Amino acid sequence: MADYIRDEEEQAERLKEWWQKNGTATIVVIVLAIGSMIGWRQWQEHSSGQAAEASKVYESLVAGLGQGGSADQVRSAADTLLEDFESTAYADYARLALAKLAADEGNLNGAAEQLKAVADDAASKELEYTARVRLARVQIEQGDLDAAEKQISRTFPEAWQAQALELKGDIAGAREKWDAARDAYTSALDALDNGAAKDRVQMKLDDMKSL
C-alpha cells in the first residue's frame, strides 16, 4: 500500500514538473486546434454560401440565354459572375455567354475577345476546348484563317473532334482547297452521331460535289 501511495505521489510530482515545463505550450496548441476547427467550419460555411450564390446567378444567366430570356438578363448575370466569382469556372461560362451575345449581334471582335480570354486561361480543359472551337469559328467569319487554323491545330479529345474536323473543312473550303475540305468533312461525318450537326456537315459536303 505504501509503495502504491509513493508511486502515486511520484507520478503526481512528475506530472506537476511536466505541466510547469509544457503546460503553456499545450494550452496554446489546444487553443490553436480549436481555432483552426472553428475557422475551417466558418470557411466551409462561407464557401458553401458562395457556391450557392454563384449557382443562382448562373441559373439566371442560362435562363436569359433560353427561350423568353433577354440579353440584358444575360449581361447582368455575367457581370456579377465576372465581378464576384472571377477565379471560378463561372466566370468562364459568363464570358462564353457574352461571346454568344456579341456574335449574335454581329460584334465578332467582341466575341473573339471573350473567347480568347477563356481559351488562354480556362478553369478546365473542357472549357478551353469549347472556347477554342468557338473562337476558330468566329475567326473564320472574320476571314482570319491563319488564326483559326492555329486554334484547331491542337489535339482535341473525342468530344470535340468532330467540331475541329468540320472547322478544318471550313478553312480548307475558304482557301478553295476542295480535296482537303472534302476529306475533313468526311472525317467529321464519321465522328458524328445522327443529328443536326451531322446534317449540317453533310450539306457542306454535298455543296462541294460540283467543285
C-alpha cell at 186: 468526311
pLDDT tens digit string along 71-80? 999 999 999 9
Same domain, 46 and 66: yes
pLDDT tens digit string along 38-69? 444 543 444 455 667 888 888 888 888 888 88
Cα–Cα distance between 80 and 89 in angstroms, integer? Answer: 13
The residue segments making up the domain with residue 200 are 157-211
Q: Among candidates 78, 83, 87, which has minimal Cα distance to 60?
A: 78
Three-class DSSP labels, 157-190: CHHHHHHHHHHHHHHHHHCCCHHHHHHHHHHHHH
Checking if the pLDDT of 30 tops 50, the result is no
Checking if the pLDDT of 86 tops 70, the result is yes
Same domain, 61 and 75: yes
**pTM, entire model:** 0.75
C-alpha cell at 75: 449581361
Same domain, 111 and 188: no
| 181 assigned to some structural domain | yes
| 162 assigned to some structural domain | yes
| 119 assigned to some structural domain | yes
